[in-house]
A and B are shown apart, each in its own frame.
Chain A
Amino acid sequence: MSPASYVFLAVVLFAIGGVGVLIRRNMIVIFMCVELMLNACNLAFVAFARMHGNLDGQVVAFFVMVVAAAEVVVGLAILMAIYRARKSASVDDANLLKY
């Protein structure tokens, strides 16, 4: 398989994640979609690293994983707090910050 196929896969995964963020209401699902987008990026980085024959992309992939792990910790904590306060995990219920 050529590395270009992995790039196409990454694009598809990124698109799925993006659409998921836009159309789903459940915070957990949106959160997972965000993770999906991050991992699509990782896949693209690794594929490009392979294509160009150096390790830069792989190093960035590790950094993205670390950031994603930290983000999950904070994000889930916020999610828990919102759920406790509102008894709901729908993003449409948290709409006070508006005009």
Chain B
Amino acid sequence: MTTLAATGVFRASWLLLAFPVFGAAVLLLGGRRTNRWGHLLGVAMSLASFVYGVIAFFALLGYHGSREVDLHMYSWIPVAGFQVNLGLLLDPLSLCFVLLITGVGSLIIIYSVGYMAHDTDRRRFFGYLNLFIAAMLLLVLSDNYLGLYAGWEGVGLASYLLIGFWQFKPTAAVAAKKAFIANRVGDAGLSLAIMLMFAEFGTVNFTGVFGSVKSGGSGVGLALGLLLLLGACGKSAQVPLQSWLLDAMEGPTPVSALIHAATMVTAGVYLMVRSNPILAQSADARMAVAIVGAVTLLFGAIIACGKDDIKKSLAGSTMSQIGYMMLGAGLGPAGYAFAIAHLLAHGFFKAGLFLGAGSVMHGMDNEVDMRRYGGLRRFLPITFVTFTLAYLAIIGIPPFSGFFTKDPIIDAAWESGGTSGWLLGGAAIIGAGVTAFYMTRMMLMTYFGPRRWEENGVLGGAGAQPASTEPHVPHPHESPGVMTWPMIILAIGSVGAGGFLIVNYRLADFLAPVVGPVPVIHGLWTWPGIIALVLVVLAGGLAWTMYGRVPVPAVAPRGSVFTRAARADLYGDAFNESVLMRPGQWLTRLSVFFDSRGVDGLVNTIAATIGGSSGRLRRIQTGFVRSYALSMLIGAVLLVAGLLVVRL
């Protein structure tokens, strides 16, 4: 695969980054004087990037043969033996992400204009969103790992700032810190991988690394694959670094939709798919990726079943869906294209679900507890319809998106053969059933059944105002057009995107230059897919018998041991605290003890000894001249005596 130098419209592809950077700079440095029109600038810059992305996409479609365009921007780190050029790589894979980030991103930013209308700090919010878009574009467009790493850290920063946007709420501040620290663990893996690349291959360029890794042996491939997987686990909230994502829901809902569902958390999948030549070197590394994906897709789905907080339930669902993508990425060329297809479709339906949840919260005075919803379909008809379409897409009912994009992953996992194929495929099929259960539960608790808020009131909580302790009766209402139109467009995407991408292998053919062709061609209907579909219907029915047929209690019942485990995030936090935090604290205490008693004790003892003895010794200085004279005489006598002794 050769890379073309940028010509024509691609020479201006730096504009993709420049627009959101400009927006972020103006909004964050411009201060209060940009308050009045700041949000409009934020929307405009994001849309401008999107328009350029569309132009570049069609320009790339016009190329035949090689579809990789590299724009060299400038030499970033020119040191002898270590040349890093900041360049942009526009190829089918990165353009898919550009369109997702700027397209879904623009819709969510437009939605935020309405959602954040009453927030006094709206300008800062849009500045952070533009900063995020710029960093995310750098992540997917960079043509080397170091530039990718810079974008990787940039989105981490934006995520931290936006989770903690309502930093006056202690829970939000803690959640932001937790997300940052958990990501640090993953980032360490990524930075080690980049160091290893430089040590082994002497370059961090994609082309250079992928060219050298083939001759590097499987040991290097395995090490790189596992380190990159660690990085991907941190950013994409995969087991074992999953705990931060559920707390990240403390941020404003558009942030949850954009960063913690549609784009940033999928960066790990991008990293895996982009590094496919490295994964190709080591079957063990691919297996590790697939296992992480399979474990997480069940882990997240089970958590989502236990949560009463609508956003946390969706966050568990996000973990689970990204687990599917990781599973797909771990299956090699059979899964890369489908992982990306599921990622794009997920961007639509999960963003739609989150925006729908935000719309419900907007109408319900920021209440997030689904047990205080009920019967909302009459009050929020547009939200209800768009949410339903996204719901049908995520559980994989044909002909909606999820059916087309999830089934190939299930199928590819099943086909991978042997015991691992049984286990991975089985996990994926069961995960599809659990997905149907928790999503149906969410639909029933939110939109159907009696109006539980009328007798119980709402407490409010996730919004800019701190949670109240006195329940009050809200007046649910449909959101304004600036919020509903993005939801409608996303719903259309949820319906059609999957079929468009998968039928005729459109996306797979488009991505083939980057990730290689799909080895085995299947029809739409496969046995694992049909089993999963049957399971989806059964699980939906089970959810109806539990939450639709019988009334939902306003206060959560104690539940079985499994329910309690799911509510406690399957004890992920408890595990971290007991295995990592407590020993860490003990280590700190031990170090402090050693420092104060050991090191300080030794130093202080020496100082006290010298101080005490000199205090006694200085009494010799009496101030009497005669005693000084005597000591001089004694000294002189000793000197003379010494000289005589030496001479004799």
Contact B618 A99 (CB under 8 A): yes
Q: Which residue of B lies closest to A91 (CB)?
A: B625
A5 lies within 8 A of chain B by Cβ: no
A92 lies within 8 A of chain B by Cβ: yes
Interface contact tally, CB-CB below 8 A:
31
B623 lies within 8 A of chain A by Cβ: yes
A93 vs B633: C-alpha distance in the bound complex, in angstroms?
22
| Total residues of chain A contacting the partner, CB 8 A | 13
**Known pairs A18-B633, A99-B618; A94 contacts B626 (CB<8 A):** no
* One of B625, B630, B633 near A94 (C-beta < 8 A): B625
Interchain nearest-CB distance for B616 vs A (Å) = 10
Contact B618 A21 (CB under 8 A): no
Q: Which residues of B contact A91 (CB under 8 A)?
A: 624-626
A98 lies within 8 A of chain B by Cβ: yes
Contact A95 B622 (CB under 8 A): yes
Q: Which residues of B contact A85 (CB under 8 A)?
A: none
A4 vs B82: C-alpha distance in the bound complex, in angstroms?
88
Contact B624 A22 (CB under 8 A): no
A25 vs B630: C-alpha distance in the bound complex, in angstroms?
14
**Known pairs A18-B633, A22-B633; A95 contacts B623 (CB<8 A):** yes
Contact B622 A98 (CB under 8 A): yes
A23 lies within 8 A of chain B by Cβ: yes
A21 vs B633: C-alpha distance in the bound complex, in angstroms?
10
Q: Which residue of A lies closest to B619 (CB)?
A: A99
Contact A21 B629 (CB under 8 A): yes
Interchain nearest-CB distance for B615 vs A (Å) = 9
Interchain nearest-CB distance for B629 vs A (Å) = 5
Q: Which residue of A lies closest to B630 (CB)?
A: A22
B605 lies within 8 A of chain A by Cβ: no
Interchain nearest-CB distance for A3 vs B (Å) = 21
Instruction: Encode B434-466 as 1/0 by CB contact (under 8 A) with A.
Output: 000000000000000000000000000000000
| Total residues of chain B contacting the partner, CB 8 A | 12
Q: Which residues of B contact A25 (CB under 8 A)?
A: 626
Q: Which residues of A contact B620 (CB under 8 A)?
A: 99
Q: Which residues of B contact A92 (CB under 8 A)?
A: 624-626
Q: Which residues of A contact B626 (CB under 8 A)?
A: 21-23, 25, 91-92
A73 lies within 8 A of chain B by Cβ: no
Q: Which residues of B contact A97 (CB under 8 A)?
A: 623
Q: Which residues of B contact A95 (CB under 8 A)?
A: 622-625
Q: Which residues of A contact B633 (CB under 8 A)?
A: 18, 22
A34 vs B608: C-alpha distance in the bound complex, in angstroms?
43
Q: Which residues of A contact B629 (CB under 8 A)?
A: 21-22
Q: Which residues of A contact B618 (CB under 8 A)?
A: 99
A96 lies within 8 A of chain B by Cβ: yes
Contact B625 A96 (CB under 8 A): no
B621 lies within 8 A of chain A by Cβ: yes
A1 vs B536: C-alpha distance in the bound complex, in angstroms?
137
Q: Which residue of B lies closest to A19 (CB)?
A: B633
Q: Which residue of A lies closest to B617 (CB)?
A: A99
A8 vs B121: C-alpha distance in the bound complex, in angstroms?
103
A96 vs B623: C-alpha distance in the bound complex, in angstroms?
6
Instruction: Encode B596-625 as 1/0 by CB contact (under 8 A) with A.
Output: 000000000000000000000011111111
Q: Which residues of B contact A96 (CB under 8 A)?
A: 623
Q: Which residues of A contact B624 (CB under 8 A)?
A: 91-92, 95
Interchain nearest-CB distance for B644 vs A (Å) = 15
Interchain nearest-CB distance for B233 vs A (Å) = 69
Instruction: Encode B503-540 as 1/0 by CB contact (under 8 A) with A.
Output: 00000000000000000000000000000000000000
A23 vs B633: C-alpha distance in the bound complex, in angstroms?
13
Interchain nearest-CB distance for A44 vs B (Å) = 14
A56 vs B528: C-alpha distance in the bound complex, in angstroms?
121
Contact A98 B623 (CB under 8 A): yes
A18 vs B619: C-alpha distance in the bound complex, in angstroms?
25
Instruction: Encode A1-44 as 1/0 by CB contact (under 8 A) with B.
Output: 00000000000000000100111010000000000000000000
**Known pairs A18-B633, A22-B630, A22-B633; A99 contacts B621 (CB<8 A):** yes
Quick one: which of B618, B620, B623, B630 has the most chain A CB within 10 A?
Answer: B623
Q: Which residue of A lies closest to B633 (CB)?
A: A18
- Chain B residues within 8 Å of A, Cβ to Cβ: 618-626, 629-630, 633
Given contacts A91-B624, A97-B623, could you give 9 more A-B pairs where the C-beta distance is less than 8 Å?
A22-B633, A25-B626, A92-B624, A92-B625, A92-B626, A94-B625, A95-B622, A98-B621, A98-B622
Cβ contacts A to B, 11 pairs, < 8 Å: A23-B626, A91-B624, A91-B625, A92-B625, A94-B625, A97-B623, A98-B621, A99-B619, A99-B620, A99-B621, A99-B623
